Amino acid sequence: GDPLEAELSGFSVPLEHSFELDVAKFQSRGSLLLKTGREPSVSLTQNQLSEDDRSKLKEVAAVDGLYRIRVPRVSLQADRQTEWQMDGYLTAFVRACAMVESHLSDVITLHTDVSGYLIGVSIVTLPGACRGAEVEDEVDLEVYNTTLSIMAPVNAPPETALFLERMEQESEKKGKNPQEQKSFFAKYWMYIVPLVLFLMMSGAQDQSGGGAGGGAANGGGR
């Protein structure tokens, strides 16, 4: 709870959304508090939808428009907090009708790379389908019901890493034979290719000349 403590252990970035019929115009939906460190976490505070926004969202949903979100491309590492403003945005979208019919129930996932940078954002609604259900503005479209998570790359267990290292060493040892075969073909390809072509052509002539006879012979052999 202490704001000073929160400021020391994390930093806040905006979560924005847009639901327009033409060009996206992003506005604030809330803010993400990103806790940095070895095990980063994220919490979310969100605004309520105004009456104007509720009616606009329903209008966009009625013509199967899109509901978009975006977050700044930031790092969850404490020593890189000041860089996020220069890194652009990550965006995702769902159908606006799904957002309306889910009563603003969505799941937002932030994807990071191994160094802690945000590399993607995704959004899905619960439920995800548009069935044309009636939705009441005041009751159903006022407050978000959002699940938020961070998806980091899964590191391979030590045993797996060791196994892969051994496999690489084995393949390096076995790799000598393919190299020798490769050098053989590299030296003699000018003799091998004409020979293969000659055999293919002579085989084709045999088939065209004795195809019927071959068929009869095969038939008699059964």
44-64 per-position pLDDT tens digit: 999 999 999 999 999 999 999
Dist CA 99 CA 126 (whole Å): 8
pLDDT value of position 183: 64
Flag the least confident range among 49-53, 74-78, 90-94: 74-78
In one letter, which amino acid is 74? Answer: V
Mean per-residue pLDDT of the chain: 78
Domain regions of the chain by residue span: 3-155, 159-221
Q: Is the pLDDT of residue 172 over 80?
A: no
Cα–Cα distance, 80 to 74 (Å, whole number): 8
Is the peptide bond preceding residue 127 cis, with omega within 30 degrees of 0? yes
pTM, rounded to two decimals: 0.64
Judged on CB neighbours under 10 Å (0-12, 13-18, 19+), 61 is buried
Q: How confident is the model at residue 42 (pLDDT cuts 50, 70, 90)?
A: confident
pLDDT of residue 218: 45
